[in-house]
Amino acid sequence: VKVLNPVLYGRLRKAFGPVRVSNEGQELSARNAALYDGRPHMVFRSKGEYYQVNCPFCADTKHRLYVSYMYGQTHKSGRRLYFLVFCFNENCLSRSDNLEEFEDRLGDINHAFVHRGTEAPAEAKEVSLPGVCLPLSDLPARHRSRVYLESRGFDPDVLCRRFGLSYCESSRYSQASNRIIIPVYEAGVLKGWQARYIGDPDWKSAAVKTSGLIKYYSCPGAQFRSRCVYNFDAMREWQTGVVVEGPTDVFRFGSMAGCVFGNTVTEAQRRKLYSVFGLRTLVLMLDPEEFEKPRTRETVAFFRQRMGASFAAVRLPAGTDPGSLDRDWQKEYVRARAAEQGVRVVYKKVQ
Ligand SMILES: [Zn+2]
């Protein structure tokens, strides 16, 4: 077996029996985060190669003790990585006597030679929330995040329950602190997040533009804005999917809507949408001026060509922000505009 840490692999085998290797050859990527909640934190971008053995401390027979190939090594931040072992069966190594016994049975490991791995593929990279995030429903009624959402016509408890919105109290990213966090999941896995500024100064004014203040701060490095369709897990349960620009448009429209984080539908997003809605119906709902842009025309052509009368492009009435329109009105508007194009919109879940 060719593994990144042959010494550790050999010792695990000797002490605990057969070893399974996962994420073979992949480099662990993590960095020490600031003490944002009073404890040293390590933020993992990718787990890297790890070894699975039967946990000797519980009745595990499914190789549920995970040991990173970097176990016992010194991280570039200077930290010894003795915590990179975990029993997924009963969390046995949270007990210090078990941890000590594990260390004893392996013997001194921190000078073992470790091969360099390869960078994990982008899909395998892990994303975590920006810091201490409190569910909106756990906050006092007068909390500014709740008051702000209510002022925009949203129910913070519904947004918390259905979309997992939280408030970030402190973060290693200054642009995420004191903002509303909108997590982006796909197949139940966190792929990224956006941090929404609380409040609405005149975003188009010169003063705001030069101040560097941004409406949405996106999780760095995650590339979710070009790869993911927001709310896709819920959207895919519907007969008709409605593609909108931003997360708040989704909150406004309802769970059959998904957003592409802007006005461009990327190649990856098109494919994703087509894979689910190719045999159902799909509506693209954007600002009128977007339809003049080459990228939008390309997107419309892509779906028209493949879906024919199962795809409609709907222009919002000029000068309106979808966020300002009420849900029933929007649904009816989309149904009527699509019908004019010979497309039958069905707001029902797929059986
Ligand atoms: Zn265990």
**Tens digits of residue pLDDT in 177-236:** 999 999 999 888 889 999 999 999 999 899 999 998 999 999 987 789 999 999 999 999
b (16+ CB within 10 A) / e for 297-318: eebbebbeeebeebbbbbebee
Can you give the pLDDT at residue 32?
63
pLDDT reading at 9 higher than 60: yes
Distance 72 CA to ligand 1 centre (A): 19
Q: pTM for the full model?
A: 0.70
The upper half-sphere exposure of residue 29, i.e. CA atoms within 13 Å in the direction of its Cβ, equals 17
Distance 61 CA to ligand 1 centre (A): 10
Distance 21 CA to ligand 1 centre (A): 18
Distance 59 CA to ligand 1 centre (A): 7
The 10s digit of each residue's pLDDT in 245-301 is 999 999 999 999 999 998 899 999 999 999 999 999 999 998 888 888 999 999 999
Distance 156 CA to ligand 1 centre (A): 40
Contact 19, 9 (CB under 8 A): yes
Question: Can you tell me the distance from the alpha carbon of 251 to that of 146, in angstroms, rounded to the nearest whole number?
Answer: 15
Distance 90 CA to ligand 1 centre (A): 5
Token pair of 244 as six digits: 């909108």
